[in-house]
Homo-oligomer: A and B are copies of this chain.
Amino acid sequence: MTQHPLDFLFHPRSIGLAGVSADLSRPNLAVRFIESLRKFGYKGQIYPLHPSGGEVYGMKIYANVKDVPGPMDYVISAVSARYTPQLVADCAVKGVKAVHLFTSGYSEIEDEIGGKLEAEVLKIARKGGVRLIGPNCMGIYCPSSGMTFAQDFNDQHGFPKRPGPLGLISQSGGNSIYAVRAGSGRGVFFSKVISYGNAADLNETDFLEYMADDPDTRIIGMYIEGVKNGRRFMQALKRAAAIKPVIINKAGATDGGARACATHTSAVAGSAAIWQGLLKQAGAIQVDSMDELIDMSVTLLRLPLPAGKRAVVIGTGGGLGVESADQIISAGLKLPLLTPSIRKEICSIYGTEAGSMYRNPVDAPPFGGIENTVKAVSVAAASDKVDLLILHFAFDIWAMVSRSEPRYFFTEMIEGIQSKVKKPMAMVLHYTTELAAKQSADELQKKWVDMGLPVYHSIARAASAINRYIHWSRHFKGKKP
């Protein structure tokens, strides 16, 4: 297998950091990048750069790119925008292959000067054979090579050292950071994440083409505000979406949002309706937020494809059951009425139907016992009218039990259910308003994620992701992730 022409971006032999200060008493973002890379386990050489020279963390600070002794493949710039034309020119001379412009102050600002500066830097880069990431972005997170732009390396809600199948391309830095943390907490790990900002040189289409061919990436996620070349993007998208699932969060659906895109990353957002049509036609899965992007990834990676749309919903809480029914139907799934014989069977397990509902949604009696609930869920799952189960666990709706009791119920219950139920099963942890409830939900999420289960935070969001999954799978001819 030949290497993709952009593969070098993710495996630099050495990284230079421009804009490092030797004075550690004041926050310096280039220094934070160095700390992050070292702690994350980046194995290559790191070269701090600053005209004043000096030392940082025992490393020599080079006054000029040209002074760096060894080869330098990649440079992260945290210097002011006005110094970047010279920096990129020096990098070209040095043979640097790519510069990540963390620096902002280019086409995203309203004054003409920003756009001109961006054009100037681009011209210098092109002439010198240097590729640019950014400006105005976080750059690359790639666990397999130790590249990162954050400092919290835990597997749960952090930037894990553990790699995974999701390749994320995000025009927004904050959204990419949030997605990694939200994803890792739910068992979604990343092959590569690129926050690419203004996209002066390398843009969404370049990265999409790369991800399509990247063997480490089994799902592609994108947050985009606008695209540089619509025709080329759509061609790349069609090709990528035929190979692997591509989930797209396209921002700027309203005039206000579109205007915000322009001032954020100088992107031209385009009409929401046109985008919707084009994305569907290309076979991409459209979502409306980073949370939905993660929901979709959880579904693709962790929910076995249901044979159909018929869901049975089980949990405690009557009002919740009613709400869930509305949400499941609105999302496009079906809620088959359980047959009288199944209802009677569940009824006989619990001994009564008083205060409960067994027709689907199933409102399990709060004090019905763990063993009985495991049995009842198994009976509902066995119905040939049922394609999947949505099990929901609410915390702050219990009045007569202590805060911790639901957690113990739920833990035992799921251990019993998982060994008995063979149909796809989505877990929803919700109705957490109190901090202790949030903490309990977090603990259960960790447990269930480790068991390989897909965990969601609302019935509406679970149902919506599952419905999209089923629709997408009907047209997708590529390899399932």
Contact = CB atoms under 8 A, between A and B. Distances in A.
Nearest to A294: B433
Nearest to A254: B329
Interface in A166-200: 170-175, 177-178, 181-182, 185
A410 to B, nearest CB: 15
Given A104-B355, A399-B150, A400-B151, A326 B158 contact: no
Given A174-B319, A175-B320, A318-B264, A435 B325 contact: no
A109 B335 CA distance: 19
Interface stretch (A52-60, A68-76, A357-365): A357-365
Interface string A36-66: 0000000000000000000000000000000
Given A158-B434, A177-B396, A318-B173, A355 B251 contact: no
Given A172-B318, A353-B105, A353-B110, A433 B397 contact: no
Copies in the complex: 2
- Which 6 pairs show the lowest CB-CB distances between chains A and B? A172-B319, A104-B355, A105-B354, A174-B397, A257-B326, A175-B319
Query: Most B CB atoms within 10 A — which of A110, A255, A256, A320?
Result: A256
Contact of A397 (B175, B437, B442): B175
Contact of A109 (B316, B325, B353): B353
A349 B71 CA distance: 41
Nearest to A289: B323
Contact of A251 (B27, B136, B319): B319
Given A259-B337, A435-B442, 15 more contacts: A27-B367, A105-B354, A136-B354, A157-B435, A174-B319, A175-B320, A178-B396, A252-B325, A252-B326, A253-B326, A260-B324, A260-B325, A264-B318, A264-B319, A438-B438
A469 to B, nearest CB: 20
A81 B353 CA distance: 12
Query: Most B CB atoms within 10 A — which of A29, A264, A316, A356?
Result: A264
A322 B252 CA distance: 6
A397 B355 CA distance: 44
A271 interface: no
Contacts of A320: 172, 174-175
A248 to B, nearest CB: 14
Contacts of A398: 174, 177
B394 A174 contact: yes
A435 to B, nearest CB: 5
Interface residues of A, number: 93
Query: Most B CB atoms within 10 A — which of A114, A322, A358?
Result: A322
A343 interface: yes
A396 B108 contact: no
Contact of A256 (B110, B318, B335): B335
Contact of A157 (B105, B433, B439): B433
A90 interface: no
A418 interface: no
9 contacts: A150-B399, A151-B400, A158-B434, A174-B397, A177-B397, A185-B434, A256-B328, A260-B325, A264-B363
Nearest to A103: B354
Contacts of A254: 325-326, 329-330
Contacts of A29: 400
